[in-house]
Amino acid sequence: MTTPPLDARAPLVLRPLTAEDVPSVLAIADEQLGSGYLDASWLAAHIGRDDLRCDVAHIGAEVAGFSLMEVASPHVIAARLQGDTAWFTGAYGAHALIGYRSLTAVSAAHQGRGVANALVEHGLAVLATRVPLVVCEAWRSTTTHIGPTLERHGYRVVREVPRYWEEESVRLGSSCRRCGAPPCGCTAVFYVRTFD
């Protein structure tokens, strides 16, 4: 059975995160990334902010996916990353502000319908008006397909970091969808998209 395209059901609507969206976004994060990966209060901090952004994709009454983004100095972004960040500040530290797409996730029920593509495209349109480049970290997995979506939108791979979430998963006690209980052994792939 193939998944119907978006226009075969209710239309896709993208909008900023609301308090009503938080439980659905957390459920998608748990489903796609593992339990406890996102925290409700941290996520709610994205509501109504100019520097933090969470775009939510709705199909009818359902939350189909979401994307987290931030606009900040490279040094602020580096502080959010795991492990050695000297490579990051060396590459991007000269910019006053950059964009950071930290996460895009789509519920299993809505995958293959263009939701991630719409979230990435919309996020780029928003960030292009504010920053010279966007950096994104993604999970390397045979079941996660954000890499090709990012590449179709002009992102290029700049670095891979094995066991990237290992320390964070232990500190937070969060389980990984692929690895199970901590520690997480997944590799992160860093992408960059510049606006010329």
Handedness of CA 24, 28, 34, 40 (dihedral sign): negative
The whole-angstrom separation of Cα 177 and Cα 172 is 15
pTM of the model: 0.85
Structural domain contains residue 66 = yes
Structural domain contains residue 157 = yes
- Omega of the bond prior to 148 within 30 degrees of 0, cis? no
Where in the sequence is the domain holding 168, given as residue range(s)? 6-194
Structural domain contains residue 43 = yes
The pLDDT value given to residue 7: 46
Q: What does the angle CA 164 – CA 166 – CA 172 come to, to the nearest 5 degrees?
A: 120
Give the number of other CB atoms < 10 A from CB of residue 82. 15
The whole-angstrom separation of Cα 57 and Cα 88 is 30
Closest of 94, 90, 97 to residue 73, by C-alpha: 97
The pLDDT value given to residue 156: 95
The whole-angstrom separation of Cα 49 and Cα 16 is 10
Structural domain contains residue 1 = no
Structural domain contains residue 103 = yes
The pLDDT value given to residue 33: 80
User: What's the CATH number where 46 sits?
Assistant: 3.40.630.30
pLDDT digits 0-9 by tens, 123-170: 999 999 999 999 998 877 665 668 889 999 999 999 988 877 788 878
Structural domain contains residue 81 = yes
The pLDDT value given to residue 142: 61
DSSP string, 129-190: TT-SEEEEEEE--SS--HHHHHHHTT-EEEEEETTTTHHHHHHHTPPBTTTBSSPP-PPEEE
Closest of 139, 144, 56, 71 to residue 101, by C-alpha: 71
Structural domain contains residue 59 = yes
The whole-angstrom separation of Cα 6 and Cα 12 is 7
List, for the chain, all residue ranges whose pLDDT scores fall below the cut of 50.
1-4, 6-7
Domain count, the chain: 1
